[in-house]
A and B are shown apart, each in its own frame.
Chain A
């Protein structure tokens, strides 16, 4: 027999061979595995403890951040609503303005005539040169400026004119111009149109007050102050004051009150 063949025979025979271990062998191995197990369980316990602590930390942090979120939401929500409402109003107003613009083209000279003195009035109001205004303006307009003068005096007595006030004044002028425009075009102004314009202007002012223009952040104190605005003289009243002549009833009512 060739040596290689002989070795092949040995390989085959030995590889096929199976020797049954004693029956108690498994019990022995099982006991050895059990002896190893406590190590494993202690390890797993340790890992479980570590995992549990991680879960705990996670829960605490999420709770903490959720709380913070809720707080910020409480502050942020109203402004969001205002903005959304504002958008809606803006779109309504835009559609109205479009309608007005169509008519405006026909009466361009008239509207231009009105706008120029009004913007001049606004400038004059800001610089508080009331006497100069009285010189070149019509008696009607003079009355308006007188009414505004009182408002101006009240505010200047309290404090220096702030940016907020300037913004409000510019809004007042805007609304007045818009109302007069509509009045000239249609010969009559519906309460709805005025309400829409006033609402828009009020929201603009509220936004300007609450949102800091530079940082775009909500000013908490401004928000609180906003709640108290009802205690002050309302924006609406001031607009009616300025409008004066345009609304006979309102003017007389305001004039009576002012006097």
Chain B
């Protein structure tokens, strides 16, 4: 409820944070940090590093707050900064490798997932298990809603590579979900 009431007038808070008022900055941080840590955590397995990335992201948010002109959602604006910061971190750690691959064969349809509603922790676990390249493209596409052209630009790869990375990510994910379900059923 507190968040809802804060959402209503956080324009005012943004304006004050723009002036460099620390209290307003803290308000914005407390409002968006949990969601943004979640965003960073999608790409970065280690929580402490994810938090570090999130803090760096917020530092950029407050530094470049003056360039935010209240066009589009503020959350979306911060989110993009967090995504970029996460990818920068992956690059820095030399975790992003993308092999240029041929177009996906159309016959290679995905097999249906085993009927199951995974809990968020389980989802994260499965995503964490993916190679960073697959994971990044998958999260950008499936969770953040980026287009292949946008992913290609962001990761400095071709659109085709983005597509094949997504396909491979999906395939691997499917296998892992099904495998986890089997294990899950087995333990029951």
Contact = CB atoms under 8 A, between A and B. Distances in A.
Query: Nearest 3 A-B pairs (CB), nearest first?
Result: A18-B34, A19-B37, A13-B120
Given A1-B116, A6-B177, A36 B143 contact: no
A10 to B, nearest CB: 5
Given A1-B114, A7-B142, A10-B143, A18 B35 contact: yes
A21 B34 contact: yes
B55 A13 contact: no
A1 B113 contact: yes
Contacts of B51: 21-22, 25
Interface residues of A, number: 28
Nearest to A29: B55
Given A14-B123, A19-B38, A29 B143 contact: no
Given A30-B22, A33-B62, A14 B55 contact: no
14 contacts: A9-B118, A10-B118, A14-B139, A16-B120, A18-B35, A19-B38, A19-B50, A21-B51, A25-B33, A26-B26, A29-B58, A32-B55, A33-B62, A36-B59
Contact of B38 (A6, A11, A14): A14
> Chain B binding site: helix, strand, loop or mixed by DSSP?
helix
B21 to A, nearest CB: 11
B42 A3 contact: no
B100 interface: no
A15 B42 CA distance: 10
Given A1-B114, A10-B143, A26-B30, 14 more contacts: A1-B113, A1-B115, A9-B117, A9-B118, A13-B119, A18-B35, A19-B38, A20-B37, A21-B51, A22-B51, A29-B29, A29-B55, A33-B59, A37-B20
Contacts of A153: none
Interface in A11-61: 11, 13-22, 25-26, 28-30, 32-33, 36-37, 40
A32 B22 CA distance: 12
Interface residues of B, number: 42
B112 A1 contact: yes
A113 interface: no
A2 interface: yes
A28 B127 CA distance: 29
A21 B63 contact: no
A36 B63 contact: yes
A13 B117 CA distance: 10
B170 to A, nearest CB: 7
Nearest to A41: B20
A39 to B, nearest CB: 10
Nearest to B79: A15
B151 to A, nearest CB: 15
Contacts of A20: 33-34, 37
Given A9-B118, A10-B123, A18 B38 contact: yes
B110 interface: yes
B113 A14 contact: no
Interface in B101-130: 110, 112-120, 123-124, 127
B113 A29 contact: no
Contacts of A40: 20
Given A19-B41, A29-B29, A3 B54 contact: no
A33 B42 contact: no
Contacts of B174: 3
B18 to A, nearest CB: 12
B134 to A, nearest CB: 14
Contacts of A16: 120
B25 interface: yes
Contacts of A25: 33, 51, 54-55
Contacts of B29: 26, 29
Nearest to A36: B63
A21 to B, nearest CB: 5
Interface in B13-48: 20, 22, 25-26, 29-30, 33-35, 37-38, 41-42, 47
A3 B54 CA distance: 30
Contact of B113 (A6, A18, A19, A21): A6
